[in-house]
Amino acid sequence: MANASPLPKTRLMTQRAIAAFFDTLSQTIEPRSELNWKTPLDLTIAVVLSAQATDVSVNKVTGPLWQRCRTTTDYLELGEAGLREYIKSIGLFRNKAKAIIGLCAKLQETFDDRIPANREDLQSLPGVGRKTANVILNVVFNQPTLAVDTHIFRVANRIGLAAAKTPEAIEKILVKKIPEKHLQAAHHYLILHGRYTCKARRPLCEQCTVWKCCNYPAKSTNVTATQ
């Protein structure tokens, strides 16, 4: 039997469709982080822990951890070995424990024990890359940054919001295309849409509120299969 023909390449959405897409998501999704946090330090630690881990798994360890650690001094007193015991259920926990202790030390030594509000300084902290910095800038400091994780990267390429091979390239395209009024919340709209509707293995096209805006080649097949 001959192999099935590959799906056609996704057409890029028009600017009009992109505006409709975000207008609709803004009416159906509450733009919020699913990581638990109370202070900027909490959020920074949680985002470092979330690399290659789910928000649910991070929230399970940060609850007990934050009963012990509320300041950078608390983390430094706990130490790397002590921190590992709290976060050992998280992937890459040894590297993350080392990064968090280094991060807390640098905050005290260089930044007057405060989370910096610019990307360059954030990325100078151990364990903080561009994506993590963008999350902190967006969630803590309300800056219109876009942290492209696996969900946003998948959704953007799949539905025709953007087409690129790297997260940073997707980020640069999206910040130009997303309507300014939605840019602050777009990070959350796209992550939550990708997490709960436009899923990796089986997108829920039949439940999608932005179905008409989307150029995903297989969406009609997905809807037909569930009817």
- Which amino acid is present at 114? R
CA separation for the pair 181, 165 (Å, rounded): 27
Does 112 qualify as catalytic in the annotation?
no
131, 165, 177, 199: which is the annotated catalytic residue?
131
Give the span between the Cα atoms of 28 and 223, in whole angstroms: 20
Which one is catalytic: 98, 149, 176, 219? 149
Check if 38 is active-site.
Answer: no
- Residues assigned a catalytic role: 131, 149
